[in-house]
Amino acid sequence: MHPFKLFSGSSHPALAQEVCQHLGLPLSRSETKLFSNENLCVRIDDSVRGQDCVVIQTASPPLHTHMMELFILCDTLRAYGARSICAVIPYFPYVRSDKRDVPGVGIVARLVADLVETSGATSALLLDLHSRQAQGFFRMPTFAVSAHQTLVGYLRGCDLTDAVLVSPDAGEVKDIVPYIASLNLPLAIIDKRRYDDTETAHVVRMVGDVVGKTAILIDDEIASGGTICSAAESLLACGAARVWALCTHPVLSGQAVERMAASPLERLIVTNSVPVPPHKMLSKLVVLSIAPVLAEAILGQFA
């Protein structure tokens, strides 16, 4: 008998199946129906009484449908006697809404954390949070893991002669430190400023030497792509020989795919923390699996 049962929401079933393969257990059975009035019905088809359960659901479109599905799935597992429920959320929604940066707005990341717990989850597993303090919004045991080793493993297989790691924002430098330690590469920083609540930031200056180098931009996620594309253009203007980008979460929202296709980025390396549909699979896109990291972290919950 397996020590726990793993369920998947409909946001990323391929990732859930891959995690199950690494764990050597079958994906537990459940079914979700979306009615014409946009109500959801979630049914579990395996007995969970007295069982430890894991639910994998990431934040991907349609976001609010998938989040509601997560809440209902956790609540249903609790109602049918699950002993514990670990919510695995590879890409956590509303994570940028972690503070009141302008008057009159709410801290929605904290609200989502409350809803996950209220729905019945007894612990949570998160991956590369944009704002690390969001982990503190949970009152239940919450564990954060990183795609760092997965992404570093890919880079180690590349020619990194004259490569430099680049932070697209001075505030993100702390997230590059593990990459510097693992790869022993120099660092450059793009000093950018955001003057309003749009998705566009403006580059002010470059700190560090990128002339003639392979510049590797590192960020936690790419949403609209505006920042990373302007950073790539700035790096080439400052003398970089080529530009790659590395990120955990390929959100690629809005016009991101068109921007990436037209950008001077030579390579975009991401993970499958969110599904990348066929129409977003650019030739320059490299998708690495985060399933081994999640599988190991899940096992750690029941060790």
Residues involved in catalysis:
192
Across 224-244, b (16+ Cβ under 10 Å) vs e yields bbbbbbbbbebbbebebebbb
Instruction: Note whether 232 and 192 are within 8 A (CB).
Output: no
Collapsing DSSP to helix, strand or coil, 66 comes out as helix
The DSSP-derived string for 105-118 is ---HHHHHHHHHHH
Give yes or no for a cis peptide into 62 (omega within 30° of 0).
yes
DSSP tag of 199: S
Distance, C-alpha 279 to centroid of its chain: 19
